[in-house]
Amino acid sequence: MAGYILRRGSVAVAVTIVVSILTFLFTNVAVDPAISMAGEGARQEHIELVRVQYGFDQPLYVQYGHWLENWLSGDFGTSFRQRRPVVDMLQERFPVTATLAFSALALALLISIPLGILAALRPNSWLDRITLSIAVVGMAMPSFWMGMLLIYVFSITMRWLPISGGSTPMHYVLPVITLAYYVLPPIVRLVRSGMIDILRSDYIRTARAKGLRRHTIILKHALRNALVPVVALGAVQLGHLLGGSIVVESVFSLSGVGLLAWEAIRAGDLPVIQAILVIMAVIYVGLTLLSDLLNAAIDPRIRVS
Amino acid sequence: MSALAEVTNLNIEFGSGPHGTWPVRDVSFSLNPGETLCIVGESGSGKSLTGLSMMGLLPPGARRRFGEYRLLGQSLANASDRHMEDLRGKDLAMIFQEPMTSLNPSFTIGDQLTESYRRHTGATRRAAQDRAVELLEKVGIAGGRNRLRQYPHQLSGGLRQRVMIAMALMCNPKLIIADEPTTALDVTVQAQILRLLNSLQEEYGMGLILITHDLGVVAKVADKVAVMYAGQIVETGTVAEIFGSPQHPYTEALLGCIPLLGRTRSGEHLRAIPGTVPALHGDLGGCHFRNRCDYARPACAGQPIDLREIGAGRSARCILVGDHQPRTEVLP
Amino acid sequence: MTEPTAIADYRILPVEPEAVSANRRLGQRIWANKGFVLGAVVLTLIVLIALFAPLLVLHDPNATNLLARRVPPVWHLWFDGDMKASWAHPLGTDQIGRDYYSRLLLGARVSLTVAFVAVVVSGIIGTTLGIVAGYFGGWIDAVISFFITTRLSMPAMLVALAVVSIYGGSLTIIAVVLGLLLWARFAVVIRSTTMQMRDLEYIAAAKAMGCSTLHILFRQIGPNILSPLIVVATTELAVAILLEASLSFLGLGVQPPTPSWGLMLADAKADLMFDPWLMMIPGIAIFILIFAINLVGDSIRDITSVEERS
């Protein structure tokens, strides 16, 4: 088990480093950082001054070294656009994105696990067909359109909910629903298909042969095994939510990290772009590692080997 | 002595109409306490389904109808699912073929051993664990309480099957149905498991229905034998009667397929039964074996053939019963 | 003794099913699957529309008409009695009077072009990497798997946004960027399929017969990769379409005046309250397209997995 964690952990660290290098190369090679910083239309001498002053003329690996050093001590650079530490900007925006992501995932799990189980218990029934339809429709709907639809129905037509912004909890209802519907379909399909396969397995037949009650068999024996892949999927989906909420934040005008990334990209604000890309990678890698560990905890076959 | 279990006229149907199949037709047998009945047949003969129907564990889509089904005096022909649930694991237990996949990989074997005991008797965890350890010893697994903490994947196939047997015994069942319990195991382990089943049966006095395709197994453990072919029982009798003087052409052919040391001459072709098992749609009209039978004649088609009584507990489903000479000699 | 010529009918048992070739059976099952047929038909229709779009438009999609701004679709004439609606603009016009129907058709072109190019590029990259990693194993596999993990640790959307913001948003660039981003799932699936097959006995048999590695890869493993490949391709096609629409929606995709469904949706946001059809129409278009693609992919997956099981 310790070996397993060690191996996975070292891969995680290696990936993070590679991503940081790639990001650094991208933001310092593809774009001339001196120009970005000085601003477009700045005079040539000004650009050269900036270049020397901020060390953009030094060899790449030296620049990377400094950058890494700063990063490890918590300094993510200063935004070109707002002239503030990037760290502060991230800290302001992160709660919004985190709230959205975790709420959406929680809502999705809350709906999809019971629904998937019920659908698996009665395959081809009307409940099953409705469940599959929900999943299939959800996979075909772009999230920004879903958001707009919800706004149209619930904010404009019915006036139950506010249209945009993020000042009250009510403002979060529609965005969370939109995001939840985005991640729900793969989870519900996985739960359903997993349960269907498991309910046909030999060890469930053994459990029935022992005279265990139906709910014991479903909730104890079957669900336990069905949830193993759901954990991994949940972690991946959480990563997607954290990284992909750009469009939803845009539709609902929520000041989260996603919207920050978009603004930074449009403005060529390299430090912010760098920081967000690297942090996203860290989160993804961390979540994958977490899901591997959770898997090992749940599935004894991985743990005791 | 009243019978422990009695099945009369069991029919199992899948689907309906032109696509319906009848994998089991008109199956009847009985079993006394302490007896071992072997149901022999090849794959597709309906023997596993017969066992499953006694447990109430048929797959969805299967419909069963008993003429009568009595266990310990109760009639279970129309028992509710709830009733069967209460009986399973307690008075009625089953052991399956595949020890590698029959245990839940996510739970310890201690958990899986104790849960049915606690469910049926309300015992405490401690008491259930004690019983589990006791039974593990009985089936030849040493290691006491520590074993209970192990997971199925840490045990070999043979050990897992022993665990399955222990699990079946937890609540002292009166009847155990074993569906090909040794087929998936090594030959040496097979012998051990069979000996184990035998000794446990002697000790606890339960009835055992052993479903198998292996005549060797039958020879070792059976008291009574029922031979099944294409969904029907084609012959019944004691093990000596079946091996000594088979009455049904199928049984005869089966026994004839076994090469015998000292009897089969070198260079002689191994005998096989030509043809294939019929698909079980609709009405097969007459004897199911007639397309492969050496003794077939016109009367074999048309009317369904009944099981004819030849003696006490002895019957055969053939119109020629008593008329023809068996071609295999008496086995040693 | 029974004579061969005298096998009487009393011996014959009722009908046995006739044998059909495996491929023909597969074909039968594919076309019997209603999901597949529906999806394939709709998809083909949309592809044809995209191909022949310039011939099918009613007006120049870029021609603005300030006198006919925000004209509602023709059914508003029947249901709302709105006299501005007419068959001249069956799906209405947008905020600067461009015919919505024509823009919708051209938008199909954009979506499908970008998506197909992206899937072909990423498919080639991903399949090659997957086969190499799966077949050769060892350190080659370790390296490629590392690349895959690294790629999967970066949100595609952000990377695409960043790249497009620097190099501009033309059709070609977006298609290429997506192609260079979406290969990961191909690689994962093809790799695991290859690994499963590498361990099968007939590969060992082929090697024992002296078949060269290339031969094994092409003739033995190749055909079996086809069905998972198609399934992944449909998934990634849908992903590519959604990504392109999202990029355009955020203003960092295809640039105006080229019509893209994502752009049309972005423009529609401001008019949500009074002219909701501006949002509904391109949204429904994207939905139908992706739905059809998913139907095809899902049904192929269902059919081929059942085949494997039996």
pLDDT, tens digit, for every residue of B45-74?
889 999 999 999 988 888 888 888 988 888
Residue matched to tokens 């040391």: B261
Q: Do A224 and B96 touch (CB under 8 A)?
A: no
* Residue A145 scores a pLDDT above 80: yes
Q: What is the pLDDT of residue A74?
A: 78
| pLDDT surpasses 70 at B1 | no
Q: For residue A191, which phi and psi values (nearest 5 degrees)?
A: -60, -45
CB contact under 8 A, B103 and A213: no
A-chain residues near B164 (CB < 8 A): 206
Summarize the confidence of residues C163-177 as an average pLDDT.
85
Residue B248 has pLDDT above 70, yes or no: yes
- In this structure, of A53-67, B24-38, C53-67, the range with the lowest mean pLDDT score is A53-67
Instruction: Tell me the pLDDT of chain A averaged across its residues.
Output: 85
A243-300: pLDDT as tens digits: 768 899 999 988 888 888 888 888 878 888 888 888 888 888 888 888 888 887 877 7
Quote the pLDDT of residue C182: 93
Cβ–Cβ of C238/A281 closer than 8 Å? Answer: no
The reported pLDDT for the residue numbered C12 is 67
Amino acid letter, C96: I
The answer to whether residue C170 scores a pLDDT higher than 70 is: yes
Spatial contact of C122 and C182, defined as CB atoms under 8 Å apart: yes
C63 vs C185: which has the higher pLDDT: C185
Minimal Cβ distance to B291: which of C2, C11, C17: C11
The predicted structure's pLDDT at residue C14: 62
Q: Which pLDDT score is estimated for A103?
A: 94
Q: Compute the average pLDDT of residues B155-173.
A: 91
Q: What is the pLDDT of residue C80?
A: 78
What's the confidence (pLDDT) of residue B142?
86
Residue C194 in this model has a pLDDT that exceeds 60: yes
Rounded to an integer, the average pLDDT of A224-237 is 89
How many percent of chain C have pLDDT more than 90? 30
Asked if the peptide bond before residue B99 counts as cis, ω within 30 degrees of 0, the response is no
Buried b (16+ CB within 10 A) or exposed e, C56-81: ebebebeebeeebebbbbbebeeeee
- The answer to whether residues A238 and B138 touch, using CB atoms and an 8 Å cutoff, is no
What pLDDT was estimated at residue C227? 82
Share of chain B above pLDDT 90, in %: 32
Cα separation, B156 vs B151, in Å, equals: 11
Record: contact A142-C154, CB cut-off 8 A? no
**Mean pLDDT, residues C251-273 taken together:** 87
Q: What is the pLDDT of residue C207?
A: 74
Q: Is A206 on the interface with B (CB under 8 A)?
A: yes
Q: Are B210 and B290 in contact (CB under 8 A)?
A: no
Nearest chain C CA: its distance from A281 CA (Å): 5
pTM for the full predicted model: 0.85
Yes or no, beta carbons of B281 and C14 under 8 Å apart:
yes
B120: nearest CB among A211, A216, A225: A211
- Bridge partners of residue A289, in order along the sequence: none
- Calculate mean pLDDT across residues C204-224: 72
**Average pLDDT over every residue of C184-206:** 82
CA distance A213 to chain C (A): 30
pLDDT at site A244: 63
Q: Which of B117-126, C5-14, C81-90 has the highest mean pLDDT?
A: B117-126
For chain A, how many residues are written?
305
Tell me which chain B residues have a C-beta less than 8 angstroms from the C-beta of C6: none
User: Which ipTM did the prediction report?
Assistant: 0.86
Point out the residue among C166, C242, C272 whose CB comes nearest to the CB of A142.
C242
Average pLDDT of chain C is 83
Q: Return the pLDDT at A35.
A: 72
Alpha carbon B298 to its chain centroid, in Å, reads 33
Q: Do B291 and C12 touch (CB under 8 A)?
A: yes
Residue B237: which region, alpha, beta or left (left: phi > 0; alpha: psi -120 to 50)?
A: left
The answer to whether residue A176 scores a pLDDT higher than 90 is yes
Report the range of poorest mean pLDDT among A30-34, A105-109, B6-10, C228-232: A30-34
The span from the CA of B186 to the CA of B205, in Å, is: 27
Residue-wise over A146-173: b if at least 16 C-beta within 10 A, else e?
Answer: bbbbbbbebbeeeeebbbbebeeeebbb
Q: Is it the case that residue C203 has pLDDT exceeding 80?
A: no
As separate numbers, helices (DSSP H) first and strands (DSSP E) second, chain B gives 10, 13
Q: How far is C306 from chain B (nearest CA, A)?
A: 19
**pLDDT number for residue C307:** 60
According to the model, what pLDDT value does residue C2 have? Answer: 44
Contact (CB<8Å) C13/B284: yes
- In which band, very low, low, confident or very high, does the pLDDT at C201 lie, cut at 50, 70 and 90? low
Give the closest-approach CA distance of A223 to chain B in angstroms. Answer: 11
- Of C133, C115, C76, C122, the C-alpha closest to C247 is C115
pLDDT classification of A15: cutoffs 50, 70, 90: confident
When pLDDT is averaged across residues C243-251 and rounded to a whole number, the result is: 90
Report the pLDDT value the prediction gives residue B176, as an integer from 0 to 100. 93
Give the model's pLDDT for residue B329: 43
Nearest CA in chain A to B95: A206
pLDDT score of A102 more than 60 = yes
**For residue C217, what is the DSSP state?**
I
Would you say residue A109 has pLDDT above 90? yes
Write down which chains contact chain B via at least 3 CB pairs under 8 A: A, C
> Which one of B87, B94, B102 makes the best mutation probe of the A interface by having the most chain A beta carbons within 10 Å?
B102
Q: Which of A206, A208, A212 sits opposite B103 (nearest CB)?
A: A206
Residues B165-181 have a mean pLDDT of: 92
Is the pLDDT confidence value at B11 over 70?
Answer: yes
- The pLDDT-based confidence of A32 (bands split at 50, 70, 90) is confident
Q: Residue C1: its pLDDT value, please?
A: 43
- Residue A235, min C-alpha distance to chain C (Å): 12
User: Given its phi and psi angles, is residue B313 left (phi above 0), alpha (psi -120 to 50 degrees) or beta?
Assistant: left
* 3-state SS record for chain A: CHHHHHHHHHHHHHHHHHHHHHHHHHHHHHCCHHHHHHCCCCCHHHHHHHHHHCCCCCCHHHHHHHHHHHHHCCCCCECCCCCCEHHHHHHHHHHHHHHHHHHHHHHHHHHHHHHHHHHHHCCCCHHHHHHHHHHHHHHHCCHHHHHHHHHHHHHHHCCCCCCCCCCCCHHHHHHHHHHHHHHHHHHHHHHHHHHHHHHCCHHHHHHHHCCCCHHHHHHHHHHHHHHHHHHHHHHHHHHHHHHHCHHHHHHHCCCCHHHHHHHHHHHCCHHHHHHHHHHHHHHHHHHHHHHHHHHHHHCHHHHCC
pLDDT level of residue B197 (50, 70, 90 thresholds): confident
Does the pLDDT of residue A42 top 60, yes or no?
Answer: yes
**Pick from B55, B98, B153: CB nearest A202:** B98
For residues B236 and B224, the answer to whether their CB atoms sit within 8 Å is yes
Count Cα neighbours of C29 within 13 Å in the Cβ-side half-sphere.
16
Q: How far is CA A106 from CA A166, A236, C32, in A?
A: 19, 14, 39
pLDDT, tens digit, 9 for 90 and up, residues B293-329: 878 778 788 778 888 888 888 888 888 776 554 544 4
Burial string for B142-178 (b: 16+ CB within 10 Å, else e) reads eeeeebbebbbebbeebbbbbbbbbbbbbbebbbbbb
- In chain B, residues with a C-beta closer than 8 Å to the C-beta of A210 are 88-89, 93, 115-116, 119, 167
Give the whole-angstrom CA distance, residue A239 versus residue A98: 11
Share of chain C above pLDDT 70, in %: 87
Q: How far apart are CA B317 and CA B313, in angstroms?
A: 13
Region of residue A44 (phi > 0: left; psi between -120 and 50: alpha; otherwise: beta) = alpha
Whether the per-residue pLDDT at C218 is higher than 80: the answer is: no
Residue C68 clears pLDDT 70, i.e. is over it: yes
Per-residue model confidence (pLDDT) at position A188: 95
pLDDT reading at C202 higher than 80: no
Using a CB-CB cut-off of 8 Å, the residues of chain A touching C290 are: 139-142
For chain B, the average pLDDT equals 85
